[in-house]
Amino acid sequence: MTGIVETHVDEIYVSASEIEKWFPIDLELNFNELRLYMTTTEDLPFQALATRRASWKRKAARASASKPEDYSDAIILPYKTYAAPAIQLQQGINSTLSDTTDNHVATTSVQTQGDLFGMFSRFNLGYSQGGESDGFQNSYFNLSRRDPRSNLAGPLKATELEIGDITANALPLVNGLQRGRGIRIGNTPYNFVRDPDQFVIEGFGPEGWDVEVYQDEQLLSFQTIELGGRYFFEGLQLREGFNLFRIVLYGPNGEKEVRFERYYLGRNMVEKGKFIYDISALQSSTPLLNFENAPETDPTLSLYGEYGLGKNVSVNAGYYTSPLNGGTLNALGSGIRFGTGSAFYQFSTLYDASGGYSLGLNTTANLSTNIILSGGHEMHESYDENLRPVVADSFINFSQRFSEGFLKFGSYGLGARRRETFNGNTVYSFTNTISASLFDISATNKLEYEMQDTLSDDRFFGNLTLRRRTPIGMFRGRLNYSLDEGYMLDSTDLLFQTYIDELTSINLLLNSSFGDNQENTISAALTRRFDKFQLSTNASYSDTGEIQLGLLLSMNFIPQSLSGDYYMTGNNSE
């Protein structure tokens, strides 16, 4: 048995191929990561146990979706008047060379986060010299405080408070979110979903990191964190009951951070006799530090309250004024939500000072554990054309999740939508979405067929998102294509990330656009982490003749105490 089983003093070594004969597992050794990946060919006892416990946990979550979370035994760290913030400093030089112009830009950005004035502070500011926009830009400053025990703002019994650059929540049927400088306060539970049609997930992370969002192992979307250090995902579908989103952040040198967002959607979200509120006020849709002299707009004010009438019924009302599509919406809203069995319903109204009004009804129902049906209808009457270009909107969606054998996860969905605009144009769209996790490949393909009265030709298009972790690195891609006249690629984004060693990584990116505006751009970035700093060099070439070269130096200052005692590091995941 030489080469299969070897003994060395007090140790025994067994080859992977021999272990695979003994147990129902497949083993794969990744030398780059020094990790051994194990895949079972049948359910082992501990996996069956984990499956049962996970099923119990899901059932318990659905059963308690209406109950407030108990934080009586939670250990909540107090906010400090001042705590030395963590600081990330980036300095870069970028050059663009083409047949017509040479452009050189130097940039500096700083991000900080830490306790300030008894709240948690986030700050971002950039400075650019050269090119079209010199001076300070990408400013962001936010102070926030959360208390799940509802002890904020004295008699207001708030659970969250934000000051500075904020995102104001809108009433149902408003169909729009506003950002700017202002204040937001409310006593809504952390996982409360007020309007499923305007559900978003946003957060913060280091610039240049990749972000992916998953639901039940389905890759929904991904993006790269740009200047400002903020990611924002919208258009994510919620199902009735418990919703768990997994947000994964990837750094340039193999850093990985996993976050979870939990939300409940359905009946009993406001228990009987309880009142919840949310208030947002923005002075303008410009940032708190308006270095770029962005034009100011009319203020935004959102007042919302909801009261639990009974076990399965709650009513809501509110006031909302804000700029919208070049005009100003000044409206009162009201609604009722209730649940029966595994279904959730919400009826909403909105009345504008101009005489316009809106009515809406939407529902989400779990036909079984894995089958979800949702639908809704909105109508908007007597508005100005610019204020409300859409006068009617109806939709229905069906989705099912499944897991069979070698298919770790799968789901498919069907949807239909009808929109009627102010000028009489009617748009019909039909969508089909298929997601699967197979052989360590996560893939989502969405097809959409669209018909319009004003267009003689129908549109048939789709996009495919792929993610694959291989022994030599990570592959991620997105393909947008059309099926109007045969098959044609519209654009592709292909990213490959690999590691030379634990401190050095290489990113390769190919962007291609086809059709009337054909262009191919290949980019490469080499990143090396040192003890005190991180250095990245990047270059790109477009077949239009444009060349871009860049150098980025990143330094992180991490406090070791509340008063400071900083140490400098090149690892921005600390």
Give me the residue label for tokens 């990749």.
210
Q: Which residues of 402-428 are buried (b: 16+ CB within 10 A; e: fewer)?
A: eeeeeebbbbebebebebbbeeeeebe
Angstrom CA distances, 542 to 93, 291, 519, 535, 539, stand at 19, 33, 7, 24, 10
Angstrom CA distances, 111 to 88, 120, 277, 498, 572, stand at 5, 14, 32, 27, 11
pLDDT for residue 150: 84
pLDDT digits (tens, 9 = 90+) for 247-299: 888 776 656 777 877 776 654 467 788 899 999 999 878 888 888 777 778 89
- Chain centroid, CA 254 distance in Å: 20
Residues of the chain with pLDDT under 50: 1-2, 31-34, 63-68, 267-268
d(Cα 506, Cα 508) in Å, to the nearest integer? 7
| 239: exposed, middle or buried (Cβ count in 10 Å: 0-12, 13-18, 19+) | buried
- Chain centroid, CA 561 distance in Å: 32
Which residues share a beta bridge with 409? 437
- Chain centroid, CA 335 distance in Å: 28
pLDDT for residue 267: 44
pLDDT for residue 402: 78
pLDDT digits (tens, 9 = 90+) for 412-432: 889 999 999 988 899 999 999
Angstrom CA distances, 574 to 124, 338, 435, 505, 567, stand at 18, 45, 34, 18, 11
> Is the separation of the CB atoms in 174 and 181 below 8 Å?
no
d(Cα 131, Cα 312) in Å, to the nearest integer? 59
d(Cα 387, Cα 328) in Å, to the nearest integer? 8
Q: What share of the chain is helix, strand, coil (3-state, %, to 5)?
A: 5, 60, 35
Q: Which helix (H) or strand (E) holds 359?
A: strand 357-366
Give me the residue label for tokens 């400090």.
80
pLDDT for residue 330: 94
Which tokens in the block code for residue 8?
């060395």
pLDDT for residue 380: 94
Angstrom CA distances, 356 to 329, 336, 346, 380, 393, stand at 10, 20, 21, 7, 16
pLDDT for residue 254: 59
Closest CA relative to residue 118, chosen from 169, 88, 149, 153: 153
> Is the separation of the CB atoms in 444 and 462 below 8 Å?
no
Phi, psi of 34 (to 5 degrees): 55, 45
| 430: exposed, middle or buried (Cβ count in 10 Å: 0-12, 13-18, 19+) | middle
Sheet strand arrangement including 256-265: 218-224, 210-215, 241-250, 256-265
Which residues share a beta bridge with 313? 338
DSSP string, 121-180: EEEEEEEEESSS--EEEEEEEEEEEE-TT--BSGGG-BSEEEEEEEEE---TT----EEE
> Is the separation of the CB atoms in 464 and 489 below 8 Å?
no
Give me the residue label for tokens 């019994």.
157
d(Cα 32, Cα 13) in Å, to the nearest integer? 21
pLDDT for residue 35: 57
Which residues share a beta bridge with 146? 160
Pairing label, strands 35-40, 25-30: antiparallel
pLDDT for residue 22: 80
Beta strand segments in 483-562, E:
488-501, 504-513, 519-529, 534-542, 547-558
**Going by C-beta distance under 8 Å and a sequence separation of 6 or more, which residues neighbour residue 273?**
308
pLDDT for residue 428: 94
> Is the separation of the CB atoms in 419 and 390 below 8 Å?
yes
pLDDT for residue 304: 92
